[in-house]
Amino acid sequence: MEEAILNFPRQFNFKPDILRSEKLPRDYSAVIVLGMGGSHLAGGVIKAIDPGIPIFTYSDYGFPPWPQTLTHNALFVACSYSGNTEEIMSALGPVITGGHKVAVMTTGGYLAEEAENWQLPLVRMPDDGIQPRSALGYSVMGLLSIIGYDYLRSRLAALADSLPVEECRREGEALAGRLRGKVPIIYSSEQYRAVAYNWKIKFNETGKIPAFYNTIPELNHNEMTGFDRVDKNRDLSELFHFIQLFQPDDHPQNIKRMKVTDRLYQERGLASEIITCSGSNDRAERIFRSLLMADWAAYTIAVENGSEPEQVPMVEEFKKLIS
């Protein structure tokens, strides 16, 4: 895991080759990513980088039960790092037989075999032996290639040289110290939901600790009231550490909400902090710097707790029990 984090910026050097690229449509009205776990994270991150891209994520069995106005002219991209994710294989069949536009992104497995059987456009991601959540750079570059957003892919290629891995390591290790013995709750604005969700996933899968997330402004209408402590429930809140991910291009009212939420939590004796996603004015660079910081924090927590930071044995145990 340490090596995967150190080498993460190199993933933006990935120049995908699309097998059967001539079959890729360019007249689609939306992109629907079929993916689970770390394999679908790219769609949300791309949406956070450029909210104007009409990209949606479906993480379940079967055909998305969505309005036909969204699905009938959509490009479906089946994403599974291993190529063996059962939910995606379940969704792929009805998408293909329904005559929809389909492309595939994977390292191999059954999904690659189905791409060959049906002669679908295919991007094979590098199989570096890392976990799907650690292959986010590959996934983003591959997905952008499939959906035809080459201008954004070219911009992101610069991250291979600009992401400050060691600086993010220092920030992440310091954060891990502040989180010692705590359950992180990560907050962001709605437009950066995918970033907060990624942070949560890293703490769960790498750090092997409980973690949760929510978004502003919605949480100000409900969740925050659960932390308005009285003497008898005071101990419940002691376990949590709130991390609010500040982005300078958030709506001014959401920035104000974040600051006020942090102040109200601190006034009630709750551990809360605002983390500024530093970096250039480039939104993508700020996002990936933030995610690298989360990687290092989660990794440090796992090491300090004596947990294995890379593998996900409970997930593997669960898969065996339902097979």
Q: What is the pLDDT of residues 33-53, one digit of tens each?
A: 999 998 899 999 999 999 999
Tens of pLDDT, residue by residue over 76-108, are: 999 999 999 999 999 999 999 999 999 999 999
Sign for the CA dihedral angle at 62, 55, 258, 254 comes to: negative
Is 37 in contact with 202 (CB distance < 8 Å)? no
CA distances from 37 to 21, 132, 134, 136, 223 (A): 26, 8, 11, 11, 25
Q: Is 322 exposed, middle or buried (0-12, 13-18, 19+ CB in 10 A)?
A: exposed
Please list the rounded mean pLDDT of every run of 10 residues in the chain (323 residues): 96 96 94 94 96 96 96 97 95 96 97 96 95 96 96 95 95 98 97 97 98 98 93 89 96 97 96 85 92 98 96 92 91
What CATH architecture does domain 2-160 belong to? Answer: 3-Layer(aba) Sandwich (3.40)
Which CATH code is given to the segment(s) 163-305?
3.40.50.10490
pLDDT at 280: 67
* Domain range summary for the chain, segments of one domain joined by +: 2-160, 163-305
Model confidence pTM above 0.75: yes
Per-residue exposure over 203-216, b if at least 16 CB sit within 10 Å of its own CB, e if not: bbbbbbbebebbbb
Q: Is 128 exposed, middle or buried (0-12, 13-18, 19+ CB in 10 A)?
A: middle
User: What tokens does 281 get?
Assistant: 């004015």
Domains 2-160 and 163-305 share a fold: yes
Tens of pLDDT, residue by residue over 232-245, are: 888 888 899 999 99
Residue 68 CB: number of other CB atoms within 10 A? 7
Distance of alpha carbon 243 from alpha carbon 239, whole angstroms: 13
Is 190 in contact with 215 (CB distance < 8 Å)? yes
Is 1 in contact with 299 (CB distance < 8 Å)? yes
